[in-house]
Amino acid sequence: EVPPWSSHELTEIANIGFPLLKINVSEELKKRLAQESYGSPHLMQEFCRALCRIKGIEESLTHEVQICSLDESIFHDVAEGTGKIIYDRLAKGPRQRKDRIQRKLAKGGKVDIYKVVLFALAEMKPGMDKIEYEKLRTAIRHVLNDNIPQAHEVSRVLDKMSEIASSDEASTPVIDWEKEEQILHITDPFFAFYLKWGVFG
């Protein structure tokens, strides 16, 4: 198991890479990128690449350029290319013979219980933290107008999502549901990042 990288280790990616391109990125901005990386060097590299792409930098410059701020749309753009595939798989849920009940969202529109759970997680923006079941239930109440699913329905959905996540081609599941402990773990930084920046982006 590879432990998450520290903030210092993540900023080293920027410290080494940007000067080679003659880009001077502020310390504050590098810390922000590291903070959004959830311990993943791959996400940090994605941010650095996206920053260069936005600035139109494709090779080493002839003179130094300063970058002290960024538009947060960079995170929405990176999110689209990271956790969306597994998110869509979880939102689809397992195959079933009959249509699922559509529930009204507080923000408008209707979705089934699988998307309700994912929308609730996105509203929580949990990062890589473990999530207690009751906190997730509270978030579900905020997301929905009415027709709140029963506790056993949510638990069943988390069971199924865990199965889908563990059968995915990725090396490790993006979520892990401990039914007895009633705790959900977000185990993948790309998925955590997508919940924060991609779902409502």
The span from the CA of 31 to the CA of 189, in Å, is 17
Q: Residue 79 corresponds to which tokens in the numbers above?
A: 């999110």
pLDDT for 51 equals 94
Distance CA 201, CA 198 (A): 5
Cα 149–Cα 153–Cα 155 angle in degrees, nearest 5: 120
Can you tell me the distance from the alpha carbon of 189 to that of 41, in angstroms, rounded to the nearest whole number?
A: 10
Please, which residues have CB within 8 angstroms of residue 165's CB and are 6 or more apart in sequence?
86, 90, 173, 174, 175, 176
* pLDDT above 60 (res 168): yes
- Summarised one tens digit per residue, pLDDT across range 113-163 is 999 999 999 999 988 889 999 999 999 999 998 889 999 999 999 999 999
